[in-house]
Structure 1
Amino acid sequence: MKKCLIIANSFKENAGLLGNEISVFLKKENIENSLFLYDGKEVRSKILDIDFSGYDFVVTLGGDGTVLFACRGCAPLGIPVFPINLGEFGFIAAVPKDNWKKELELFLREKCYISSRSLVQCEVLRNGKTVFRCCGMNDCVISSCPSSHLVNLNVAYNHALLGPFKTNGIIVSTPTGSTAYSAAAGGPIVEPELSALVLTPVSSFSLSARPLVFGEKGEIVITLMSSRSDASLTCDGQIDFELKEGDVLILKIPEFRARLICSTQEKFFSALQSKLNWSGGPRA
């Protein structure tokens, strides 16, 4: 390991100070590094100019949102992300801030586990031409604007029509994102290293609409039909794109995967127990 990028969420208290502390540690390990201050609000309002190429690994200081931002840029390049949790929930920011040095040393000595996670890729076609493309670590969400209105969506999987959906929206999540918005909308929680996509309707105007889990080789195709409401596509809750009637969205799992350092299965299930208040006993 020769070069590292440290991404510190400037909204988190002491992120900059910890970033400088990590920088000093890495220099002692003869690892060149640079610090990038990331504002979680800016990512929705403008394209953040950051080039991940040339780095051997990335350290994130923040919550899950900071990890999502880093993984979208790192995954296509095969760059692993070391996610230190300065946030509240921390399903994917799995490294405790008080234990970063021990776990980082294990990584530098190639003695730690690196989790491999699938992403979801979305391409928007308008009149047969690609007008937008994005990739999400958590999910891609097609929703009405305002969110309380209904939109009409035709959904197909590998050319098999699943039927029209009249709904507030549809979430297409990765296993990593299955604990986020999808879970809140009633979707299943999926072991994060599986290669799958979860389709979860949001407040569908049908009691028969249920979440569906698809394998890695297929494509989900969603067509925005006639609607009285506007609609939008949101990727990881951070990237927005306005949709128009007739737009066709093609969603699938890309070939590249995100790599999360020290994100073990044990930490994932521990997070489920502590953060979702699972007891597993008679008081459940």
Structure 2
Amino acid sequence: MLNHVTVLANPAKRGAEAAGRHLERLFADRAVEASLVRTDGSDAMPEWPEATDLIITLGGDGTILRAARKAAPFGTPILGLHMGRFGFITEGKPEDVEAHVDALIDGRFAVQDRVMVHGSVLRSGEVIHEAVGLNEIVISKGAMTRMLGLLMRIGDGPSMEYLADGAIVATPTGSTAYALSVGGPLMDPNLSALLVAPICPHTLAARPIVLPDSLEVDCVIETDGGEVKFSADGSAVFALIGGDHVRVRRAEFVTRLVVFSAASFYDKVHNRLLWGERVNE
């Protein structure tokens, strides 16, 4: 049963605030308290009421990713309404908002637990930075930096060494994001797995690999200088230097996403990524 809903609106998206006020009225008409909270699009998320049973985001996937880092430790479900450029994680559209509200009130929805990743940076054996992400942890070089030497180890397996522009450790949810653009496979978001994908490796031997999310990924950075960054979902950016260790594992908590159809992932990859379509016709 819903008692309090927080509507998180990104004012940078045209119509988001108006849609948020409309949601407040719709929930009030159904005797559910709702609060409109505005986010400025930065990494820092605004505070929302502790009694929140559900968060509805009005923006794009970036708004969901930022909300997830704050909501996940408390187990608060998130419903994303698409008002951004692409919106693969988002579940609904503002024009269908009344139907979505009725479905929420009537309990006609499901909540999926999505794996998150935790990344930490170790320097001289000490953790100096850490972050969590719903999509991925990324190690990447700057535009004018030479290729990185990456010494990577998965679990207790052998070390793998290769030159590349970086590496991605993605969740199944993140398999349709940055990892997809470097040749990684699509993964059903309900899988308990991680994906390791090198960025522009200078070898045919370094290919994307799917592994159980019980394994930890350890990567040592070798560089002769230049810009090297650690990031989580494009945020929590931290500068790396040669000799740093980046360790990535499954996070201790999950992001709980509201869906209205169990098949929505496959609908999205078909409709938005043209999976299974013949695009040459």
TM-score range, shorter chain: over 0.9
- The aligned counterpart of 1:21 is 22
Select which of 155, 161, 165 maps to 1:164. 161
CA distance in 1, matches of 2:28, 2:103: 16
Matches within 5 A, 1:1-284: 1-40=2-41, 42-43=42-43, 47-50=44-47, 53-146=50-143, 149-262=146-259, 264-280=261-277
Deviates more, 1:78-87 or 1:239-248: 239-248
1:261 shift after superposition? 0.8
CA distance in 2, matches of 1:6, 1:56: 11
Q: SS of 1:95's equivalent?
A: coil
1:140 shift after superposition? 0.8
Q: TM-score, normalised by structure 2?
A: 0.93
What letter is aligned with 1:97? Answer: P
Q: SS of 1:60's equivalent?
A: strand
Q: 1:88 to 1:226 in 2, by over 3 A?
A: closer
Q: TM-score, normalised by structure 1?
A: 0.92
1:278 shift after superposition? 3.0
Number of residue-to-residue matches in the alignment: 280
Deviates more, 1:29-38 or 1:210-219: 29-38
Structure 2, unpaired ranges of 5+: none
> Would the aligned equivalents of 2:26 and 2:101 in 1 still touch at CA under 8 Å?
no
Deviations 1:117-145 (A, max 9, x none): 10111111111211111110111110012
Q: 1:236 to 1:128 in 2, by over 3 A?
A: same
What letter is aligned with 1:12? Answer: K
Q: 1:217 to 1:147 in 2, by over 3 A?
A: farther
Q: 1:245 to 1:262 in 2, by over 3 A?
A: same
1:101 shift after superposition? 2.0
Q: SS of 1:163's equivalent?
A: strand
Q: CA RMSD in A?
A: 1.9
Structure 1, unpaired ranges of 5+: none
Q: SS of 1:154's equivalent?
A: strand
CA distance in 1, matches of 2:49, 2:143: 35
Q: SS of 1:191's equivalent?
A: coil
> Would the aligned equivalents of 1:175 and 1:193 in 2 still touch at CA under 8 Å?
yes
Q: 1:282 to 1:14 in 2, by over 3 A?
A: closer
CA distance in 1, matches of 2:228, 2:49: 32
CA distance in 1, matches of 2:69, 2:145: 29
Deviations 1:224-270 (A, max 9, x none): 12433331111111321111222111111123211111253422111
Q: SS of 2:73's equivalent?
A: helix
1:49 shift after superposition? 4.3
CA distance in 2, matches of 1:151, 1:55: 44
CA distance in 2, matches of 1:264, 1:156: 38
> Would the aligned equivalents of 1:147 and 1:168 in 2 still touch at CA under 8 Å?
no
Q: 1:219 to 1:31 in 2, by over 3 A?
A: same
> Would the aligned equivalents of 2:38 and 2:46 in 1 still touch at CA under 8 Å?
no
1:184 shift after superposition? 0.5
> Would the aligned equivalents of 1:140 and 1:173 in 2 still touch at CA under 8 Å?
yes
Q: 1:147 to 1:157 in 2, by over 3 A?
A: farther
